[in-house]
Structure 1
């Protein structure tokens, strides 16, 4: 495959934004992560797709990689917090606090995160862990 990682990533995001689901996008983002393992945004997208696909264990492991690669990525922190809630892992508050700090410093970060959470609820309306995280982040 000669497609560049950036092109694959952009096309994957376009497909997601057009309404495509994790069933077809998971393989795309897995390949991006395999081919470019230090791209934090790709790990964050992959974790989100795992969460949407009800695979919280895989989401947790993937989100950990995303946070390790970029500790100041708010979406990576949110994904990790949601995955931790889903699997009953402790330490969620630390990641929520970091996301809240990042949101307080940049209104665009706040807007993007809240938009992402709304998108998650549109795709998965009864997502209780996401609703909890959304509530915590709305408090800031």
Structure 2
């Protein structure tokens, strides 16, 4: 991965955290994925942005790539589950169980997933699939 791609990723991530609209960030993360197609974090980020903008089919493809590139990335698994739920695909249990196991073994993973879920609700308050995932991962809302 070149420094340019790293800088682009960090810049896009900072813009997202600053509250920039998901729609405007999709081209940034598409470019990162085009330039560095083996960067799981970029595919996972792109999947999340697609989910936030109601493009579940594109989110599913991006999340599948992210998980294929890094099967141990818990957020990629969560994004895949969300995309599967949104598109009516079967097989979410395996991915939820892997994410649950990662969250139970590493308090930082648990905290990161909880923060990301909260961010999802902040950006899309009535996200039914995210509510299911939150319940599956952590029980009733914490």
TM-score normalized with structure 1 length: 0.97
Distance (Å, rounded) in 2 between the aligned partners of 1:39 and 1:80? 16
Gaps of 5+ in 2: none
What number of residue pairs does the alignment pair up?
139
Q: Which residue of 1 aligns with 2:96?
A: 96
Question: How far apart are 1:22 and its partner, in Å?
Answer: 1.5
Distance (Å, rounded) in 1 between the aligned partners of 2:21 and 2:37? 22
Question: How far apart are 1:101 and its partner, in Å?
Answer: 0.5
Q: Which residue of 2 aligns with 1:108?
A: 108
Runs of 4 or more above 3 Å deviation = none
Q: Which residue of 2 aligns with 1:138?
A: 138
TM-score normalized with structure 2 length: 0.95
The DSSP-based 3-state class of the residue aligned with 1:4 is helix
Q: Which residue of 1 aligns with 2:122?
A: 122
Distance (Å, rounded) in 2 between the aligned partners of 1:60 and 1:132? 17
Residues 13-56 of structure 1, C-alpha deviation per residue, up to 9 Å, x if partnerless? 00000001111100000000000000000000000000000000
The DSSP-based 3-state class of the residue aligned with 1:125 is coil
Question: How far apart are 1:3 and its partner, in Å?
Answer: 6.8
Q: Which residue of 2 aligns with 1:20?
A: 20
- CA root-mean-square deviation: 1.4
Gaps of 5+ in 1: none
Distance (Å, rounded) in 1 between the aligned partners of 2:112 and 2:65? 21
Q: Does residue 77 of structure 1 match 2:61?
A: no
Distance (Å, rounded) in 2 between the aligned partners of 1:22 and 1:14? 12
